[in-house]
Amino acid sequence: MADEVSVLPRGPGKVWNALRWSLKGIATAFRIESSFRLECYLVLLLTPPALLLGASGVERALLFGSLLLVLSAELLNSAIEQVVDKISPEFALFAGRAKDMGSAAVFFTMMNVIAVWGLLLAPRWM
Protein backbone atom coordinates (compact mmCIF):
# COMPACT_ATOMS: atom_id res chain seq x y z
CA MET A 1 0.00 0.00 0.00
CA ALA A 2 1.33 3.43 -0.90
CA ASP A 3 1.96 6.13 1.65
CA GLU A 4 0.73 9.72 1.28
CA VAL A 5 4.05 11.05 -0.02
CA SER A 6 4.93 8.59 -2.75
CA VAL A 7 3.42 5.68 -4.63
CA LEU A 8 6.78 3.88 -4.71
CA PRO A 9 7.75 1.44 -1.96
CA ARG A 10 10.35 2.91 0.36
CA GLY A 11 13.18 0.76 1.58
CA PRO A 12 13.81 -2.96 1.57
CA GLY A 13 11.25 -3.59 4.33
CA LYS A 14 8.31 -2.46 2.23
CA VAL A 15 9.59 -4.29 -0.84
CA TRP A 16 9.99 -7.42 1.29
CA ASN A 17 6.42 -7.03 2.60
CA ALA A 18 5.08 -6.66 -0.94
CA LEU A 19 6.90 -9.86 -1.93
CA ARG A 20 5.52 -11.70 1.11
CA TRP A 21 1.95 -10.59 0.31
CA SER A 22 2.34 -11.68 -3.30
CA LEU A 23 3.65 -15.10 -2.27
CA LYS A 24 0.82 -15.40 0.25
CA GLY A 25 -1.68 -14.71 -2.54
CA ILE A 26 -0.09 -17.33 -4.79
CA ALA A 27 -0.10 -19.90 -1.97
CA THR A 28 -3.73 -19.17 -1.12
CA ALA A 29 -4.81 -19.46 -4.75
CA PHE A 30 -2.87 -22.72 -5.11
CA ARG A 31 -4.51 -24.11 -1.98
CA ILE A 32 -8.14 -23.16 -2.70
CA GLU A 33 -8.44 -22.80 -6.50
CA SER A 34 -8.32 -26.05 -8.44
CA SER A 35 -8.12 -24.21 -11.78
CA PHE A 36 -5.06 -22.28 -10.63
CA ARG A 37 -3.45 -25.50 -9.40
CA LEU A 38 -4.05 -27.20 -12.75
CA GLU A 39 -2.67 -24.21 -14.65
CA CYS A 40 0.43 -24.18 -12.40
CA TYR A 41 1.03 -27.83 -13.24
CA LEU A 42 0.65 -27.08 -16.94
CA VAL A 43 3.11 -24.18 -16.67
CA LEU A 44 5.61 -26.49 -14.96
CA LEU A 45 5.08 -29.07 -17.69
CA LEU A 46 5.37 -26.58 -20.57
CA THR A 47 8.22 -24.42 -19.26
CA PRO A 48 11.04 -26.79 -20.33
CA PRO A 49 9.69 -27.09 -23.90
CA ALA A 50 9.20 -23.31 -24.02
CA LEU A 51 12.83 -22.75 -23.09
CA LEU A 52 14.14 -25.50 -25.38
CA LEU A 53 11.99 -24.87 -28.44
CA GLY A 54 12.43 -21.12 -28.58
CA ALA A 55 15.05 -20.32 -31.22
CA SER A 56 15.94 -16.97 -29.64
CA GLY A 57 15.55 -15.15 -26.38
CA VAL A 58 12.53 -13.34 -27.74
CA GLU A 59 10.84 -16.59 -28.76
CA ARG A 60 11.55 -18.17 -25.38
CA ALA A 61 10.16 -15.07 -23.66
CA LEU A 62 7.00 -15.20 -25.78
CA LEU A 63 6.47 -18.92 -25.20
CA PHE A 64 7.07 -18.70 -21.45
CA GLY A 65 5.43 -15.30 -21.03
CA SER A 66 2.21 -16.51 -22.62
CA LEU A 67 2.04 -19.19 -19.93
CA LEU A 68 2.56 -16.66 -17.14
CA LEU A 69 -0.27 -14.53 -18.53
CA VAL A 70 -2.68 -17.42 -17.94
CA LEU A 71 -1.64 -17.59 -14.29
CA SER A 72 -2.01 -13.82 -13.93
CA ALA A 73 -5.48 -13.84 -15.46
CA GLU A 74 -6.52 -16.78 -13.28
CA LEU A 75 -5.37 -14.95 -10.15
CA LEU A 76 -7.36 -11.86 -11.17
CA ASN A 77 -10.39 -14.01 -11.99
CA SER A 78 -10.14 -15.74 -8.62
CA ALA A 79 -9.88 -12.37 -6.88
CA ILE A 80 -13.01 -11.15 -8.70
CA GLU A 81 -14.88 -14.31 -7.72
CA GLN A 82 -13.84 -13.99 -4.06
CA VAL A 83 -15.03 -10.38 -3.87
CA VAL A 84 -18.27 -11.07 -5.73
CA ASP A 85 -19.04 -14.08 -3.52
CA LYS A 86 -18.39 -11.98 -0.39
CA ILE A 87 -20.57 -9.09 -1.55
CA SER A 88 -23.33 -11.12 -3.15
CA PRO A 89 -23.48 -14.74 -1.96
CA GLU A 90 -26.92 -15.21 -3.53
CA PHE A 91 -27.47 -15.17 -7.29
CA ALA A 92 -27.30 -11.70 -8.81
CA LEU A 93 -27.26 -10.89 -12.51
CA PHE A 94 -24.36 -8.42 -12.32
CA ALA A 95 -22.34 -10.68 -10.03
CA GLY A 96 -22.73 -13.50 -12.53
CA ARG A 97 -21.70 -11.22 -15.36
CA ALA A 98 -18.56 -10.12 -13.50
CA LYS A 99 -17.59 -13.74 -12.85
CA ASP A 100 -18.28 -14.72 -16.46
CA MET A 101 -16.14 -11.83 -17.74
CA GLY A 102 -13.28 -12.86 -15.46
CA SER A 103 -13.55 -16.38 -16.83
CA ALA A 104 -13.55 -15.00 -20.37
CA ALA A 105 -10.30 -13.17 -19.63
CA VAL A 106 -8.71 -16.48 -18.62
CA PHE A 107 -10.08 -18.07 -21.80
CA PHE A 108 -8.49 -15.37 -23.97
CA THR A 109 -5.11 -15.82 -22.31
CA MET A 110 -5.37 -19.56 -23.02
CA MET A 111 -6.16 -18.78 -26.66
CA ASN A 112 -3.11 -16.52 -26.63
CA VAL A 113 -0.95 -19.49 -25.55
CA ILE A 114 -2.28 -21.55 -28.46
CA ALA A 115 -1.74 -18.67 -30.90
CA VAL A 116 1.80 -17.84 -29.73
CA TRP A 117 2.94 -21.46 -29.60
CA GLY A 118 1.29 -22.25 -32.93
CA LEU A 119 2.61 -19.22 -34.77
CA LEU A 120 6.14 -19.68 -33.47
CA LEU A 121 6.46 -23.46 -33.64
CA ALA A 122 4.18 -24.65 -36.46
CA PRO A 123 6.29 -23.17 -39.32
CA ARG A 124 9.25 -25.31 -38.21
CA TRP A 125 7.33 -28.52 -38.82
CA MET A 126 5.57 -27.53 -42.04
The angle, 0 to 180 degrees and rounded to 10, between the axes of the packed helices 34-53 and 57-87 is 170
The 3-class secondary structure across 107-118, one letter per residue, is HHHHHHHHHHHH
Residues 6+ apart with CB under 8 A from 66: 109, 112, 113, 116, 117
Name the DSSP letter for residue 2: -
| Nearest residue to 66 (alpha-carbon basis) of 81, 78, 83, 49 | 49
Known catalytic residue: 74?
Answer: yes
| Nearest residue to 73 (alpha-carbon basis) of 35, 18, 17, 23 | 35
In the set 4, 74, 81, 90, the catalytic residue is: 74
Name the DSSP letter for residue 56: S
What amino acid positions are annotated as catalytic residues?
A: 74
